[in-house]
Amino acid sequence: RTTLVPATGGRITGGLWAERRRVNREVSVTTGWDRLHEAGNFLNLELAAGQQPGQAYVGSLPFLDSDLYKWLEAVAWTFADPDLDEAGEARLEEFLTTSARLLEAAQADDGYLDSYFQVNFPGERFVQLAWGHELYCAGHLIQAAVALNRTRGDARLLDVARRVADLVVRSFGSEEGRVDGICGHPEVETALVELYRETGEQSYLDAARYFVDRRGHQLLGGHGFGAHYFQDHTPVREATSVEGHSVRQVYLLAGVADLYVEDGDDTLREAADRLWHEMVATKTYVTGGIGTHHTDEAFGDPYELTNERSYCETCAAIGSVMFSWRMLMITGEARYADLVERTLYNGFLAGLSLDGQRYIYANPLQVREGHMAGGNDRDYARKPWFKCACCPPNVMRTLASLEHYVVLGGADGLRVHQFVPGSWTAPVGDAEASVSVVTDYPWAGRVAVTVDASPGTWGLTVRVPHWAGGATLTVNGEPVTADVADGWASVTRAWEPGDTLVLDLPLEPRLTRADSRVDADRASVALERGPLVYCFEAVDNPGHRLDDVVVDVAGPVATASTDAALPDDVVTLAAQGRVRPRPTEGWWPYADARSPEPGDGEAVTLTAVPYYVWGNRAPGAMRIWTPAG
Amino acid sequence: RTTLVPATGGRITGGLWAERRRVNREVSVTTGWDRLHEAGNFLNLELAAGQQPGQAYVGSLPFLDSDLYKWLEAVAWTFADPDLDEAGEARLEEFLTTSARLLEAAQADDGYLDSYFQVNFPGERFVQLAWGHELYCAGHLIQAAVALNRTRGDARLLDVARRVADLVVRSFGSEEGRVDGICGHPEVETALVELYRETGEQSYLDAARYFVDRRGHQLLGGHGFGAHYFQDHTPVREATSVEGHSVRQVYLLAGVADLYVEDGDDTLREAADRLWHEMVATKTYVTGGIGTHHTDEAFGDPYELTNERSYCETCAAIGSVMFSWRMLMITGEARYADLVERTLYNGFLAGLSLDGQRYIYANPLQVREGHMAGGNDRDYARKPWFKCACCPPNVMRTLASLEHYVVLGGADGLRVHQFVPGSWTAPVGDAEASVSVVTDYPWAGRVAVTVDASPGTWGLTVRVPHWAGGATLTVNGEPVTADVADGWASVTRAWEPGDTLVLDLPLEPRLTRADSRVDADRASVALERGPLVYCFEAVDNPGHRLDDVVVDVAGPVATASTDAALPDDVVTLAAQGRVRPRPTEGWWPYADARSPEPGDGEAVTLTAVPYYVWGNRAPGAMRIWTPAG
């Protein structure tokens, strides 16, 4: 019940994402092993396995196992990376073998596996559902297991995961004697559908359906943040707005989309579609980030998109990509791919340092002069690891599986929806087509798609992003009139190997304003170029405070050479602006609205860098939305 | 070492504050007894006294005793209210006697008294200083005891409090064998100075000095929010900005001001003055509210004053008044009284429902259409009580002692710094003067001060608020040229009983804008009249969404008749504006900044009400800062 289907193979061969994946493979996943040992995640499972008598459980959060599972999923996907060298593969093999043996040893006879409960509450199972995260952890184990089975045909994790899933199937349900409940953190829903796909076992799909159906009936009971924190306030089919903890919401909706694909229940599709549009229209930052509130890591009210305290958890960006990618396959509509792109390049990628060793939990759209760090996980500075380390391994597994998010097949052709150098094979009808992509995107707008294998006559379709007016197409160097509709440009012909379709996207820098109901962005602009949102950083704009800067909306915005401290290919922007004089100082900062405001100030050229590189050089102020002058 | 000294007597006889005090006396303090029983505060102390074997400690917060102490302080101050009737006094007497006996029974032989530790961690004392709140609770007990001793000469609480204080004095210090530490929540500092004043016991003052001096040296150790959460990041004399938990910060600074008064240490005065100005210039909302962040209840960065998520804890407004009032007495500068007024009428008073039965913890400056309540203490809706019920009894004790915040004496005269109907006696040099005030302030601008008792020639001084241009003065009906300087107007003469000085303050409605560095208020205005900040509520502006409203800055703002559901005397405002058409709908809410914005919309008359009455009629959107058209 999807319009589009995943490519069966993919290799990313160059450019921005290949470099991010190289760093992920060589640095992040490897240091992840060290961090997970330092943070106690391995020790806790060893305790569950009875291997470390006398040691105490490390940490207080009930979902530490899931950090290890997400990292294992990254390991599993990385096995499929053609650029993995022998030494790297041997290292991953050691990681995997050690981990798989540990999980086998820790798993109870009946299949239960959750070190937090096994060590701290022996015998207690599925009774602390609101905050226990047992099914959440199970879901991440399942996803790692499915990944490993897909990439290597290696069932070591799958055997463990199936025993867990079988226990869940046996334990939960509305029938007498079972636990009628759901997990406080959605995740197992999408995982169980995937496990069903991998194994064909119907009971996993049935369990996923049960968990989706039962959410929204306040089974989780009272909680300080309210039922909507868990999306337990109303059944998903009746919900009209995304609410509560943003990661929970988008993970749930990814599962809802998955369930629709298997069940064909249109009420699920309608709900997912309705909530996606509400989320995007009223609760999504220009970076693609979601989640306004720090306190409960939650969506705010409609149009409540404050910049200084944007939460924009990195995990929420990942969940948004998961959700949108599923909706793209279901609907075939380009807007979902547009949001995947925006989120990957901005809200997601900013979560990781360029050197692959530091992560950020909450992504600000603005850092003030005088910002004082809080000292906690949610600081506006990247850190090697967190007490609540959900984001780092989530970044790893996303980068490690990124080749899936580029090309899709379908009944009548192949679609390139993200512009990444590499090669892909995808189903086209009952056959397959292969393409290679050459591009310097996002720095340059030319995307060349060469057909490597063709099953005859089919449509080669490329996405035309919603920001790209004036895109042009050629085939083998000749201009063509493509069918351009709803964000796609498509050329149907008898494609021969060697044929090349070239898409040229205009990458003029753009000045963007927000919906007037977004108070936080009033009378302000953001700079964009291609899929990238730009920001001003203090390090690039010395001599004046970003608090005092105004951008000249009528002035030109030019591309500029990069800072030597940034990777060579990063394109920076130069905008014209002014440094507004400080208002007359006084003890009270509010004044008569009819009194004259500080007038024009010194003209300056302002330098902007892609948002995803912010905070990699020197600490200091940063802002995306800047007053328009 | 103060310029001004407290009035020795005061009676509030009418107007807004008399009504708030009546409700406080008749409703809030009485229901407080019920709430404190329902919430377990009494039971916990009974457990500490060994009176309820088999019962379990109620609640998880370590500072529940302080809720009861603040309520007891309200009881104590209320005894001095001349409007307290016999039945009311008998009820308070019962509350007091029951409570005093309970505290005597719960107090350990060595003076220790803290039900949380006595019940949950028997024998554990002063070892969980970062979060234990033992000294914070002790401070509130001391304040209640001082209040009762002052109002009635009743030492029942004072005896208990002194035993606690003596234990603190014996237990803490840098000497060998003592605990070298401070409390995670400042409060005991100001309380110990007050206890020193009440008793003359030097060791209490020495302990206050020790606690002020030792903060800022990271004695509290690591914490998720960082040392500045506790103001433990740097010694107060070296601090250049208010930081961290806002209630902690202003309570500390109140104690610093108190310590300066007794010690004359100019470095303390300089620090308090410097931090007050930094707080007001960069971290204070137009309501006088302070504290931007929900997560750590903390000040934000400079100019980070978001409206949708303004924290503005009611307790922080109270602490700000405590701090500013002390600075007013120290410096004699009117700006401190200006902030006291602004905070009392807006940031503080909004914390309580008109019926005196519901409170709000976090005070928003804006509530969006579509706002979904979180279900926790920090909801944007007033509630009867909280899990963390620090604010309700804090409101009670402030209203019960409000007569102290109106008139001050001094070497050369008497100052009326708040405009409240009633009568006051204050020291003037070595003698005393008495005045009566008649006014309909804040609804009308005329303030008549009649001399009731005069010691000869002295200055009768009234504050001219910083927003009041064109104020005029008469004495006995004749215009006078007063000495007007720095926010004060003063007439020095041989005042006779019956002489009346009349101050006329212009109350033209004002349109106010914020410092341009406050991003949240960009291109927006707030309506004010006199000391009151106004807001738009959905209930007064039916037919259009507040998200779409624009205020015409050039248009007139008129006073209007009140809504029938509001108290009779409330003056509402009518402003001219427009309802901006919705931007063209689309899936993505960000657009080319050079494309046309939605144009002019329907002209409307907008109704604004004083911020302090918001949320008393129907739930719905509310906003103070509104786009300027």
Q: What's the confidence (pLDDT) of residue B568?
A: 72
- Looking at A469, A504, A539, the residue that finishes a domain is A504
B26: in domain: yes
Q: What is the number of residues in chain B?
A: 629
The single residue of B297, B313, B403, B537 carrying the catalytic annotation is B297
Which residue out of A284, A287, A301, A626 would a mutagenesis test of the B interface target, given it has the greatest number of B Cβ atoms within 10 Å?
A: A301
- Identify the burial level of B408 via C-beta atoms within 10 angstroms of its C-beta, where 0-12 means exposed, 13-18 middle and 19 or more buried: buried
- Give the position of tokens 């929806």: A417
Residue B226 belongs to what domain range?
A: 14-405
- Under 8 Å between Cβ of B324 and B340: yes
Secondary structure class of B520 (helix, strand, coil): helix
Check CB contact under 8 Å for B522 and A387: no
> For residue range A439-483, what is the model confidence (pLDDT) as tens digits?
999 999 999 999 999 999 999 999 999 999 889 999 999 999 877
The answer to whether residues A341 and A427 belong to one domain is: no
B192: in domain: yes
Q: What's the confidence (pLDDT) of residue B150?
A: 96
At B242, phi and psi to the nearest 5? -75, 135
Provide mean pLDDT across the span B257-280: 98
The answer to whether residues A314 and A327 belong to one domain is: yes
CATH code where residue A484 lies: 2.60.40
Provide mean pLDDT across the span B69-83: 97
pLDDT confidence tier of residue B224, bands split at 50, 70 and 90:
confident
SS3 content of chain B, % helix, strand, coil (to 5): 40, 20, 40
- Looking at B480, B504, B528, the residue that finishes a domain is B504
Q: What's the confidence (pLDDT) of residue B596?
A: 82
- Identify the burial level of A48 via C-beta atoms within 10 angstroms of its C-beta, where 0-12 means exposed, 13-18 middle and 19 or more buried: buried
The answer to whether residues B163 and B290 belong to one domain is: yes
Q: Which residues of A258-289 are buried (b: 16+ CB within 10 A; e: fewer)?
A: bbbbbbebeebbebbbbbbebbbbbbbbbbbb
Provide mean pLDDT across the span A618-625: 95
> For residue range A35-83, what is the model confidence (pLDDT) as tens digits?
999 999 999 999 999 998 889 999 999 999 999 999 999 999 999 999 9
CA separation for the pair A173, A177 (Å, rounded): 9
Q: What's the confidence (pLDDT) of residue A335?
A: 97
CA separation for the pair A528, B100 (Å, rounded): 67
Radius of gyration of chain B (CA): 25
CA separation for the pair B391, B350 (Å, rounded): 12
pLDDT confidence tier of residue A410, bands split at 50, 70 and 90:
very high
Is B390 assigned a catalytic role?
Answer: yes
- Under 8 Å between Cβ of A367 and A309: no
The answer to whether residues B412 and B400 belong to one domain is: no
CA B590 to chain A, closest CA, distance in angstroms equals 4
A244: left (phi over 0), alpha (psi -120 to 50) or beta: left
Q: With a cut of 90, say whether residue A556 has pLDDT above it.
A: yes
E strand spans, A480-540: 483-485, 488-494, 500-504, 510-514, 524-529, 532-537
Q: With a cut of 90, say whether residue A599 has pLDDT above it.
A: no
CA separation for the pair A133, A177 (Å, rounded): 21
Q: What's the confidence (pLDDT) of residue B104?
A: 98
> For residue range A230-268, what is the model confidence (pLDDT) as tens digits?
999 999 999 999 999 999 999 999 999 999 999 999 999
Contacts of B292 in chain A (CB under 8 A): 309
Q: With a cut of 90, say whether residue A597 has pLDDT above it.
A: no
Q: What's the confidence (pLDDT) of residue A377?
A: 81
Structure token pair of residue A228: 């909507």
B4: in domain: no
Residues 6+ apart with CB under 8 A from A448: A437, A438, A439, A500, A501, A502, A503
CA separation for the pair A403, A293 (Å, rounded): 32
pLDDT confidence tier of residue A430, bands split at 50, 70 and 90:
very high
Q: With a cut of 90, say whether residue B485 has pLDDT above it.
A: no
Query: Which of A257-266, A420-429, B457-466, B589-598 has the weakest average pLDDT?
Result: B589-598
pLDDT confidence tier of residue A309, bands split at 50, 70 and 90:
confident
Q: With a cut of 80, say whether residue A598 has pLDDT above it.
A: no
Name which residue leads in pLDDT, B325 or B469: B325
Structure token pair of residue B529: 């009249």
Check CB contact under 8 Å for A309 and B286: no
CA separation for the pair A380, A615 (Å, rounded): 9
The answer to whether residues B498 and B536 belong to one domain is: no
- Looking at A405, A437, A452, the residue that finishes a domain is A405
Is B194 assigned a catalytic role?
Answer: no
Q: Which residues of A546-566 are buried (b: 16+ CB within 10 A; e: fewer)?
A: bbbbbbbbebebeebebbeeb
Q: What's the confidence (pLDDT) of residue A320?
A: 98
CA B557 to chain A, closest CA, distance in angstroms equals 13
Contacts of B375 in chain A (CB under 8 A): 223-229
Minimal Cα distance from B599: which residue of A? A516
H/E stretch holding A439: strand A431-439
Minimal Cα distance from A514: which residue of B? B590
Strands B457-463 and B413-416 come out as parallel
Q: What's the confidence (pLDDT) of residue A483?
A: 77
> For residue range B582-614, what is the model confidence (pLDDT) as tens digits?
876 689 999 999 988 777 789 999 999 999 999
The answer to whether residues B384 and B430 belong to one domain is: no
Global ipTM: 0.94
Q: With a cut of 90, say whether residue A331 has pLDDT above it.
A: yes
Provide mean pLDDT across the span A124-130: 95
Q: With a cut of 80, say whether residue B375 has pLDDT above it.
A: no
- Give the position of tokens 């005042």: B495
Structure token pair of residue A170: 């046996």
CA separation for the pair B489, B471 (Å, rounded): 9
The answer to whether residues B140 and B260 belong to one domain is: yes
CA B9 to chain A, closest CA, distance in angstroms equals 31
H/E stretch holding B528: strand B524-529
Q: With a cut of 80, say whether residue B151 has pLDDT above it.
A: yes
Provide mean pLDDT across the span B106-111: 98
- Identify the burial level of B382 via C-beta atoms within 10 angstroms of its C-beta, where 0-12 means exposed, 13-18 middle and 19 or more buried: buried
The single residue of B183, B315, B390, B391 carrying the catalytic annotation is B390
Q: What's the confidence (pLDDT) of residue A196?
A: 98
> For residue range A559-573, what is the model confidence (pLDDT) as tens digits?
987 777 888 789 999
Q: With a cut of 90, say whether residue B397 has pLDDT above it.
A: yes
- Residue A177's CB is within 10 A of a number of other CB atoms, namely 6
Q: What is the DSSP letter of B26?
A: I
Q: What's the confidence (pLDDT) of residue B331?
A: 97
Q: With a cut of 90, say whether residue B9 has pLDDT above it.
A: no
The answer to whether residues A440 and A537 belong to one domain is: no
Q: What's the confidence (pLDDT) of residue A235?
A: 98
The answer to whether residues A388 and A426 belong to one domain is: no
Q: What's the confidence (pLDDT) of residue B595?
A: 87
Q: What's the confidence (pLDDT) of residue B510?
A: 97
CB pairs under 8 A between A and B: 229
The answer to whether residues A10 and A95 belong to one domain is: yes
Provide mean pLDDT across the span B175-204: 97
Nearest to A553 among B296, B512, B594 (CB): B594
> For residue range A516-537, what is the model confidence (pLDDT) as tens digits?
999 999 999 999 999 999 999 9
Minimal Cα distance from B533: which residue of A? A590
B3: in domain: no
- Under 8 Å between Cβ of A479 and A444: no
DSSP per position, B582-598 = PPPP-S--EEETTSPPP
Check CB contact under 8 Å for B514 and A597: no
The answer to whether residues B438 and B548 belong to one domain is: no
B416: in domain: yes
Q: What is the DSSP letter of A104?
A: H
CA separation for the pair A175, A580 (Å, rounded): 68
> For residue range A358-373, what is the model confidence (pLDDT) as tens digits?
999 999 999 998 887 7
Contacts of B585 in chain A (CB under 8 A): 281
Provide mean pLDDT across the span A152-168: 98
Check CB contact under 8 Å for B553 and A593: yes
Q: With a cut of 80, say whether residue B44 has pLDDT above it.
A: yes
The answer to whether residues A518 and A377 belong to one domain is: no
H/E stretch holding B410: strand B407-410
SS (H, E, C) B219-277: CCCCCCCCHHHHCCCCCCCCCCCCCCEHHHHHHHHHHHHHHHHHHCCHHHHHHHHHHHH
CA A395 to chain B, closest CA, distance in angstroms equals 23
Secondary structure class of B119 (helix, strand, coil): helix
At A207, phi and psi to the nearest 5? -65, -40
Contacts of A373 in chain B (CB under 8 A): 226
B519: in domain: yes
Q: What's the confidence (pLDDT) of residue A389?
A: 94
B5: in domain: no
Cα separations (Å) of A138 from A95, A165, B575?
20, 7, 58
H/E stretch holding A463: strand A457-463
CATH code where residue B234 lies: 1.50.10
B433: in domain: yes
Structural domains of chain A, count: 3
Which residue out of B369, B466, B519 would a mutagenesis test of the A interface target, given it has the greatest number of A Cβ atoms within 10 Å?
A: B519
Q: What's the confidence (pLDDT) of residue A280?
A: 97
Which residue out of B233, B590, B597, B626 would a mutagenesis test of the A interface target, given it has the greatest number of A Cβ atoms within 10 Å?
A: B590
